[in-house]
Amino acid sequence: MSASSAPLPLQTHSNRFWSDPQSVPRLAVLLLNAPLAPHWRLSGPPALSPSTNSDPPTSELFRSLWNNAELRMCADGGANRLFDGSTGSGGSESGDDVLPPHCIKGDLDSLREDVRAFYAARGALVERDPGQDSNDLDKCLELIFARQEREPARGRFAVVIFGALGGRLDQEMQNLNALFCWHDRFQQLALLSEDATARLLLPGARHVIEPNFAFETRTCGLIPLAGACAATTTAGLQWDLRGQEMRFGGLISSSNHVADGHAVVHVENSHPLVWTTELRK
């Protein structure tokens, strides 16, 4: 695709650490103020995988990543969601099944007082930022980045944001906008909902995508969210693209699939694309 004779650099986007969160050097997990998926288990003993491998089922994904993260954050009312899911609605009274957040940040217009007191007593920093020029997600990402900058020798964070897709469309668009605003700050940045994942693929690289099929289905998409993508070439999809233009009002690669027998997808794109996958239930 590139007019240059020099090969484009490889950029790997891997979710394989979901099966072993401690395998990623630095992990930050952020919970937004959105309903937690009903099938996500925040209390009780870990569920057993129905498969023959050692991967936990998707119902354990949030708890596994959260409890193994170096930095656990709630954006404002996200702390209410965590509390209600782990203590207030049938979870253990102590909330010990999921670890407390290290920090709760935002304008705190949604944070309940009982939740603030509960997590503050367990060591959580509760930080109010009343600024109206940025949203709670950006405020939390600023804190994660500031911590990363204080310890540059330790490398960059892989950031996983739960509760980022679905719900109000304007808020979902703002969360997707964060991929564009923060793409160069972290080792990787992914948005998750109960149904889907999203990450940004920028031009100027040969993208190597490694899904984790213990948690993701083979259903996927490439969305030209920021405007027309003049040319996209892929390998490893059921319906590969071979240099076609994608744009709203024209072709969009939705409801595609990682081809059977393929564990990796390769993408080269002339303009930004959002890669999406479906989560297993």
Least confident among 85-89, 94-98, 157-161, 255-259: 94-98
Residue 96 scores a pLDDT above 70 = no
Inside any domain, residue 214: yes
Does residue 254 share a domain with residue 179? no
Inside any domain, residue 211: yes
Does residue 36 share a domain with residue 147? yes
- Provide the domain count of the chain: 2
Q: Which domain holds residue 238?
A: 195-281
**Residues 211-240: what's their mean pLDDT?**
97
Global pTM value: 0.90
Find the CATH number of the domain harbouring 101.
3.40.50.10240
Does residue 122 share a domain with residue 136? yes
Does residue 174 share a domain with residue 133? yes
Find the CATH number of the domain harbouring 265.
2.60.120.320
Residue 252 scores a pLDDT above 90 = yes
Residue 92: pLDDT band (50, 70, 90) is: very low
Does residue 102 share a domain with residue 173? yes
Q: What's the pLDDT at 281?
A: 84
Strands 216-223 and 27-31: unpaired
42-68 pLDDT, tens digit each = 766 665 554 545 566 778 899 999 999
**Residues 106-112: what's their mean pLDDT?**
94
